[in-house]
Amino acid sequence: MMRRTRIFSNLLIVFAFYFSSAASVSAQVKTDPIAENMLIYQRSYGGWPKAIHEKKVVYEGVLTDAQKKEVLSGINDEDGTFDNKATSREIRYLVKAYKETQNPAYLKAAEKGIDYILKAQYPNGGWPQYFPRKNLYRGQITYNDNAMINLLNVLQDIVEKTNDFEVVDARFTSKAAEAVNNGVKCILKTQIKTKGKLTAWAAQYDQNTLTPAKARAFEPASLSSAESVAIVQFLMRMPNPSNEVKDAITGAVVWFDLVKIAGYNTKDIEAPAMTKGKDRIVVKDDASTIWARFYELETFKPIFIGRDAVVRYALADIDDERRMGYAWYGTWPAKLLQKDFPKWKKANGLN
């Protein structure tokens, strides 16, 4: 009887030691509160939504148990997207959090997100705005808001093992390189040529025909200056660029210079009768150079469009809600023309 008691006592000691050791190891795993929230929001297939029930996803703050339960209930929802930096920003944050905490859950989630990116790529090299849901304009090849370029930059970081991506499993390197190569081919195919000259890119393209396409009512098929800048900056990352890549970059830069609007700027003024109490007008400004967000494909005229989907040629001619609610003018190409392009030319012996 005493022998049995001694054996039982020893087992208790062993179990106590095991569980205390496990608890000690668990306690040593560091966590990051934002990364923890990202794990909760990640969908089962690897992507992340940008909003749930039209409410923007915000990772700062503490989620209640009820909020966690609500988010997790949509784990299989097909709302994963690359719009507004969704998925790319989470992957970037998680690899950085992994480096700082060595928490394996963060790297696992990031790599699941990378697999999701690779799976979402079309055979022609482009990416949709959403995946797996691709209804309406969501299935179009999307440069809008830099969606596709954000993904390509993540993949190129994997290839180069930069910006914290050296922690990613080596099995992704060749896959990322192939995806980048196909992505560059898509970029070259979709650069718009007008009267025999390379220009810039549209914000969206039909995923089958690779022709410029409209998205929302106020986002027509057109040349897009903002998105084209990000495309050129990505192409400038390419080591030992081919002649095709060099021509694409140079052609776009020439076009940016051609369509610049020197001597003008925009100004917000008080307008109590307007929807937001303000209005946006174009004013003369000798010290300013701006670009329109959208240009007509054939004429290169700046175009503006309200929720009525009617193309107009002056900012003042569209409804005031859209006039104030969208970036119709900007200085997107300025740094590219003044600094980035000259530096790239010198680095590639093109001076």
Alpha helices in the chain (DSSP H): 2-28, 33-41, 65-72, 88-101, 104-120, 147-160, 171-190, 225-235, 243-259, 320-325, 334-335, 341-347
CA 47 – CA 116 distance, rounded (Å): 6
Catalytic: 348? no
Spatial distance between the Cα atoms of 3 and 13, rounded to a whole number of angstroms: 15
Question: Which residue is catalytic, options 37, 84, 146, 153?
Answer: 84
Tokens read off for 289: 């150079």
Q: For the residues of 49-106, what is the DSSP string, one character each?
A: -SEETTEE---SSPPPHHHHHHHHTTTT-S--B-GGGTTHHHHHHHHHHHHHH--HHH
Strands 223-224 and 261-270: unpaired
Residue 248 contacts residue 234 (beta carbons within 8 Å): no
Residues 148/142, Cβ–Cβ less than 8 Å? yes
Cα-Cα-Cα-Cα torsion 181, 92, 224, 189, nearest 10 degrees, comes to 10
Q: Is 189 helix (H, G, I), strand (E, B) or coil?
A: helix
Active-site entry in 133, 216, 237, 312: 216
Cα gap 131→77, rounded to integer Å: 11
- Within its chain, how far is the Cα of 246 from the centroid? 24
Expressed in angstroms, the distance from the first to the final Cα of the chain is: 93
Residues 6+ apart with CB under 8 A from 183: 121, 125, 126, 127, 148, 151, 152, 155
144 classed as catalytic: no
- Interatomic CA distance for residues 206 and 204, integer angstroms: 7
- Residues assigned a catalytic role: 84, 216
